[in-house]
Every structure is written in structure tokens, then in C-alpha cells.
């Protein structure tokens, strides 16, 4: 069946569902990580603000993407591709936040211990 000239390209629902599962798993990991980090009984310092802001921002983007993928129109290829790109941006922002927090911990300049 050929597409009508004015009909937008769509993706298969099964493909979108797999992506939705992957996004959900990574979002769950991100939320779990930040929960463990925030629940740490150590005192916070100013150096902890940057990684926290980055992680919260990245998680917010991941939640938005998760919501977008749950929408009915997420089967449109253009909307799916945008959601996929935005997820990677959110994922990378969280990764940078975690990396900064880890470096701060390794260098001993943060009171929030990541390594134990």
C-alpha cells in the first residue's frame, strides 16, 4: 500500500513500543540514581549544585520524551524522531551530571560521596 501524497510517514507501533521500554528503563535508572544520591546523609556543598541541576534537567527532558512517546501521534515518524533526539539530549545531560559528581567525589571536593 503506497502512501498518499499528503499522508505523513508513520513508524510501526512495535518499534515505538520497544523504544518506549528502553526510555522507561533508562528513566527509571536516572530517577533511582538521583534518589540514592539525594538520600545520602552527608551535607551538601556548593560544588554539588551543578551536577544536581544537570541531572534534574536531564531527567525532566527524559520524562517529557516518555510522555511524548505515550501520545497517540508518536507513531508519526517526525514526532518519533524528535522524541528520540530529545531523549539522547536528556540522557547525555544526566550522564554529564553524573560524571561531574563522580569527578568531584574522586577529587574529594564534594561532601556527597558516590563511591561508597
Query: pTM (2 decimals)?
Result: 0.86
Tell me, yes or no, whether 23 lies in a domain: yes
Alpha helices in the chain (DSSP H): 13-38, 49-70, 77-107
Q: If you count them, how many residues does the chain have?
A: 116
3 belongs to a structural domain: no
Number of domains in the chain: 1
105 in Cβ contact with 113 (< 8 Å) = yes
Report the Cα 13 to chain-centroid distance in Å: 22
Q: Is residue 116 over pLDDT 90?
A: no
Three cell numbers, residue 111: 561532601
Handedness of CA 36, 111, 102, 63 (dihedral sign): positive
Asked if residue 4 belongs to a domain, the reply is no
- Condensed to tens digits (0 to 9), the pLDDT of residues 64-111 reads 999 999 999 999 999 999 999 999 999 999 999 999 988 988 888 876
Statement: residue 44 has pLDDT above 90: no
Cα-flanking dihedrals φ and ψ of residue 66, to 5°? -60, -45
Containing structural domain, residue 26: 13-107
Query: Can you tell me the distance from the alpha carbon of 81 to that of 101, in angstroms, rounded to the nearest whole number?
Result: 31
Round to whole Å and give the CA distance between 113 and 116: 6
Q: Give me 106's grid cell.
A: 574522586
- Residue 40 has what pLDDT? 80
**Is residue 115 a part of any domain in this protein?**
no
pLDDT of residue 28: 96
Q: What is the mean pLDDT of the chain?
A: 89
Q: Is residue 112 part of a domain?
A: no
Amino acid at each position: 500500500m503506497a502512501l498518499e501524497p499528503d499522508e505523513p510517514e508513520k513508524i510501526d507501533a512495535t518499534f515505538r513500543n520497544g523504544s518506549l521500554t528502553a526510555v522507561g528503563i533508562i528513566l527509571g535508572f536516572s530517577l533511582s540514581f538521583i534518589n540514592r544520591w539525594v538520600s545520602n546523609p552527608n551535607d551538601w556543598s556548593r560544588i554539588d549544585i551543578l551536577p544536581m541541576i544537570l541531572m534534574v534537567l536531564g531527567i525532566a527532558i527524559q520524562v517529557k520524551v516518555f510522555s511524548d512517546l505515550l501520545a497517540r501521534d508518536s507513531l508519526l515518524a517526525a514526532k518519533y524522531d524528535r522524541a528520540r533526539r530529545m531523549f539522547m539530549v536528556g540522557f547525555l545531560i544526566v550522564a554529564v551530571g553524573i560524571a561531574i559528581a563522580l569527578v568531584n567525589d574522586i577529587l574529594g571536593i564534594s561532601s556527597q560521596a558516590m563511591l561508597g
